[in-house]
Each structure stands twice: as structure tokens, then as C-alpha cells.
Amino acid sequence: DTAVSQTPKYLVTQMGNDKSIKCEQNLGHDTMYWYKQDSKKFLKIMFSYNNKELIINETVPNRFSPKSPDKAHLNLHINSLELGDSAVYFCASSQEGGETGGYYNSPLHFGNGTRLTVT
Amino acid sequence: AQTVTQSQPEMSVQEAETVTLSCTYDTSESDYYLFWYKQPPSRQMILVIRQEAYKQQNATENRFSVNFQKAAKSFSLKISDSQLGDAAMYFCAYRGYTGNQFYFGTGTSLTVIP
């Protein structure tokens, strides 16, 4: 079973359109992330949610709006798409704490990425 | 913020040989976690190996091992008996003991020559 799944896998759209990418994790993790990978393969954090609350919000245009209806889902909505938005977008999850209050050695678990192409 | 540096944008290795990918990081924390991720052409991000800073023993996963030098803030990945399937982009990553932020290096593209 897929641990972190994101849809769609490919997204081709025109400038000015609005699009969404969905992400779901079945690992029971409490933290989810969106990363952007540009053409040079640099990975840049965009957002992070912990138990549905926004905890990391890097310098990202406000055309990007994350939505977390519950801790298993983190969707990314992009308004007024621009050519520079073309990239691969990764959803990821991790476990940041436990019942004991300690922090687990939790790596990031990534989805398979969404390649967004804006024409 | 912590920084992670991978000084080798590209590396190549002959099949069956050994290659070492370097990674250094900057931090003022004493406890943290380090990871190596592999990204093949399929673009999937795959965890290769992890290391806890408080453990002196270097982590090993089959043909993959690390050389963790805490004082030097160095975390290199050694791939033994390289296989064609090892060809990929490799990313070094840092995570503090507390907090939710992961910091990634810029990646090293590994080519395996048959």
C-alpha cells in the first residue's frame, strides 16, 4: 500500500489557471510538508503542517495556499499559475513526536511527486 | 538556519567499484539526525540510510555505509560494489532533534559506468 500518495502525477496547464494537488498519507504521521524541486534539482521547503496547523511557511507567493482538512491530508492549491511555477512538487510526511513527548528519529517519507508544467 | 553542503555536483564510478559522496553541515545543536536520500530518474525520493548524532557507530545498510565525523560535521556516504541501479541523484539531509525542519544539500548526481 502506498504510504504517501499525491495526485495527479503530471499536470500540464496554461498560465493564469488555478490548479490543485492532493496529498494523503496512511502512516499515521502528524506532520506533512510540501517541497518544490526546480529544474536544477534543488529541494525547497514550502509549507509544513503539524496536526492540521501551519508551522512552516517559507517565502512563497500567496498564490500558493495549502489546506489540511485533517492530519492525513495536505492539499496544495495554486492560483494564477505562472511559467516559473513549473517544477516537481513533493508531498512528504514525518512523525515529530510521540505519546511520551519525545521526538522520534523520523525521516521524511515522500510521495512520488507531481510534475507541473505551465505553458 | 542549518546549512548542508554537498560539494560534488557530479560523480562517476565503475560498476563493482566503490564511491564516496561527501556531505558537510553546519549546526550549533548537539543532537540531530542525518539522512541520505536517493532520487533515481523515476524521481521517487528513497531513504538510503540514517544516522543519529548521539551514536558513535556508523550506520550501515547492505552496500551503503556512512562515515560520520561529528567534530568535523561531516557525513559521507560510501557505496560499495556499485551497481547500475545506483545511478541517481543523492541528497544529504539534516534534521534537528527538535523541530520540524529538514535541511537538504544541493545533491550529487552519480553515474555508474558499465
CA A86, CA A13: separation in Å to the nearest integer?
10
Q: Which of B92, B102, B108 to mutate to test binding with chain A, by most A CBs within 10 Å of its CB?
A: B102
pLDDT at B98: 73
Supply the CATH classification number for the domain A4-118: 2.60.40.10
Across B66-88, average pLDDT: 97
Q: Cβ separation of A112 and B43 shorter than 8 Å?
A: yes
Residue A88: which pLDDT band, with cuts at 50, 70 and 90? very high
CA B52, CA B34: separation in Å to the nearest integer?
6
For chain A, the domains span 4-118
A66 upstream amide cis, omega within 30 of 0: no
Is residue A100 predicted with pLDDT exceeding 50?
A: no
Closest to A34 in 3D by CA, of A119, A118, A108: A108
Please give the grid coordinates belonging to residue B99: 523541530
Set out the domains of chain B in order of their start, with CATH numbers.
Answer: 3-113 (2.60.40.10)
Tens digit of each residue's pLDDT (9 = 90 or more) over A32-52: 999 999 999 999 999 998 888
